[in-house]
């Protein structure tokens, strides 16, 4: 399939794909966050060079970073805000690799992608509240966002210990935990969310008819989404997160 035109359009041009008759979007004064904003389809004001978070999250991050410095930790952001287009590009790159280069069946490729990557429009990174972080001091080869690097003996062992003991003091909570029987995305010891903002955003996001919204999107692999798949994705990947973020 060649469905690249959709992801090159602006958020407003994709509006026709997401408007549903039973959903009220950003014009209601009672709503703090509109669906296009939550899906990364409109520009939001971001703060900090190399930080790119909403102001409240940005300020809290700097306080946390300052505190970590005093303990020999240099919190470095690997990824923060992502637009819909950026997430779609990540998704399509992985889909084409798995489906075309590696010869996986479409549903097999999709299942492989959602071990760690979100469907475009559903990423918490669209909100300007979430960060992937490491310790900037150790010299690390290869992929820095690998769970083993945060375990005992790994280069980020001390960093992870510090974050476990201190991140929630600054309202940053681990999103995808290693709690037994948690479903959805695999354990990500690097992914933290600024709870005071992301909790109401998730509440607003989950109030939408996400099944209908996702069924209207078009990008590589999306034609293989079924109602059952989307239902399970919402339950497992969007909602089965750290309970402190619900």
Length of the chain: 246
Return the pLDDT at 207. 93
What is the phi/psi pair of residue 192, to 5°?
A: -125, 150
3-state secondary structure of 175: coil
Q: What is the pLDDT of residues 134-183, one digit of tens each?
A: 999 999 999 999 999 999 999 999 999 999 999 999 999 999 999 999 99
More confident: 231 or 88: 88
Q: What is the pLDDT of residues 55-75, one digit of tens each?
A: 999 999 999 999 999 999 999
Give me 99's structure tokens: 């489906």
The predicted model scores a pTM of: 0.87
Return the pLDDT at 210. 85
3-state secondary structure of 77: strand
**Residues 81, 193: Cα–Cα separation, whole Å:** 11
Which class in CATH covers the domain with range 5-245?
alpha beta
Share of the chain above pLDDT 70, in %: 87
Return the pLDDT at 29. 37
């Amino acid at each position: 399939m060649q469905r690249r035109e959709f992801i090159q359009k602006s958020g407003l041009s994709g509006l026709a794909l997401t408007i549903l008759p039973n959903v009220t979007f950003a014009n209601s004064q009672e709503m703090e966050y509109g669906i296009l904003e939550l899906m990364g389809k409109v520009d939001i004001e971001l703060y900090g060079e190399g930080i790119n978070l909403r102001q409240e999250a940005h300020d809290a991050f700097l306080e946390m970073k300052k505190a970590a410095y005093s303990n020999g930790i240099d919190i470095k952001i690997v990824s923060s805000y992502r637009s819909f287009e950026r997430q779609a590009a990540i998704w399509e790159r992985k889909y084409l690799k798995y489906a075309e280069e590696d010869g996986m069946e479409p549903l097999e490729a999709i299942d492989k992608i959602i071990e760690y990557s979100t469907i475009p429009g559903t990423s918490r990174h669209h909100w300007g509240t979430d960060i992937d972080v490491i310790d900037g001091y150790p010299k690390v080869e290869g992929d820095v966002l690998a769970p083993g690097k945060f375990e005992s003996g790994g280069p980020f062992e001390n960093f992870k210990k510090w974050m476990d003991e201190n991140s929630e003091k600054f309202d940053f909570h681990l999103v995808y935990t290693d709690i037994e029987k948690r479903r959805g995305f695999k354990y990500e010891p690097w992914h933290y969310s600024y709870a005071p903002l992301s909790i109401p955003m998730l509440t607003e996001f989950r109030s939408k008819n996400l099944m209908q919204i996702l069924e209207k999107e078009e990008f590589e692999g999306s034609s293989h989404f079924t109602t059952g798949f989307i239902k399970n994705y919402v339950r497992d990947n969007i909602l089965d997160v750290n309970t402190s973020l619900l």
